[in-house]
Amino acid sequence: MYVHIPFCAHRCDYCDFATWTDRDHLIDEYVDACITDLRRHDAPAATSVFFGGGTPSLIPGEQLARIVDAIDRASDAEVTVECNPDSVDAAKFAAYRAAGVNRLSIGVQSMTTHVLTALNRTHDPANVARAVELARAAGFTRLNLDLIYGTPGETLADWERTVAGALALEPEHISAYALTVEPATPLGKRVASGAQENVDDDLQADAYAIADDAFTAAGMGWYEISNWARPGEECRHNRLYWTEGEYLGVGCAAHGHTGGRRWWNVRTPERYIAAIHEHVSPEAGSETLDDGTRAEEAFALSLRTREGAPFARAGQEIVSELEADGLVTVADQQAVLTRRGRLLASDVTARLLLGGAAELESSQVGTRYH
């Protein structure tokens, strides 16, 4: 189950998500709409629940708890809430715990003040440490820290400080993403006009290597290109996405995937609330992939993970070439990206698909939807 909370106190310059800073007056109606929507779905008990946004921690803890309470969950369900260090306190974390939230994902991005300023983030590194301390005091034993590398103006020394600072907080999980400049964002417009430099791919590659070395040394293994975790602390929810599992999307702009069909809801909170009140579906569109496209997608997603992806005999030649180039390792008919391969994952995936390595048996495709 994915629940989208579209409210933010402040919009970061790199963000192109479905979020709004002037819709707080809709929070109560929006929560009611999400709960009504949830009750209309005839779904099995959720094995994982993820509150994303936006800023889920911006809404009152009691309101988020109402949504959690309305979700039929497996007894061992993973329930994650994304949090901004500026919008959490002891009372909110206590409300989360009482409702059954058992995992937090804290938006850190950087531990260097001038990089946070460049991203137009409002928190400072001290707030991150405070948020982690409050989370631990509330009894949370599963924490993720979200980081971004490659911000224009960020040096490798800046990034090393962020990596060291994040590890010092002893999280169970870290996600580290290369900054992507989206055209419609304030950052994208500055880059397009020449007012700000674009990201440096080579610098981002160096930053990735720094992070991978440090996280590995700290006992956190990579299990997907942008994610590292201590043993047993991988994010169950994200693993479901990478294996093309089924999920329901609740809230505006939320996406779902059931029965091989993908669908997405209307983008704005007003339209979502109106649809629920009018007893009509909030879906804005959908698609159903054919078996061949699904097989290629399954292959590409699997290749991003530490388990790698199976390849057919037709792809043996290209796989051997990639192995010789140091981009993949091969074991038990699985191609697994090396670190160099992770840095060039799009190219490796394209070469494998073009080489016929994604010819999966039809039975393999079907098992991905169980």
CA torsion, ordered 114, 116, 122, 123, to nearest 10 deg: -100
Q: Hey, what domains does the chain have and what are their CATH numbers?
A: 2-242 (3.20.20.70), 291-367 (1.10.10)
Q: CA–CA separation, 281 vs 260, rounded Å?
A: 19
E strand or H helix that includes residue 214: helix 201-217
pLDDT of residue 316: 81
pLDDT of residue 300: 92
pLDDT of residue 364: 42
Q: What is the pLDDT along the chain (370 residues), one digit of tens a residue?
A: 999 999 999 888 888 889 999 999 999 999 999 999 999 988 899 999 999 999 999 999 999 999 999 999 999 999 999 999 999 999 999 999 999 999 999 999 999 999 999 898 888 899 999 999 999 999 999 999 999 999 999 999 999 999 999 999 999 999 999 999 899 888 889 989 999 889 999 999 999 999 999 999 999 999 999 999 999 999 999 999 999 999 999 999 999 999 889 999 999 999 999 999 999 999 999 999 898 888 888 999 999 999 999 877 447 888 999 999 999 999 888 999 999 999 999 999 999 988 764 444 433 433 332 2
Q: CA–CA separation, 1 vs 45, rounded Å?
A: 9
Q: CA–CA separation, 160 vs 111, rounded Å?
A: 10
Residue 362 near residue 291, CB atoms below 8 Å? yes
Q: pTM above the 0.75 mark?
A: yes
pLDDT of residue 333: 85
Contacts of 49 (CB under 8 A, 6+ apart): 1, 2, 3, 68, 71, 73, 77, 78, 79, 80, 237
pLDDT of residue 357: 47
E strand or H helix that includes residue 340: helix 339-343
| Nearest C-alpha neighbor of 212 from the set 321, 341, 334 | 341
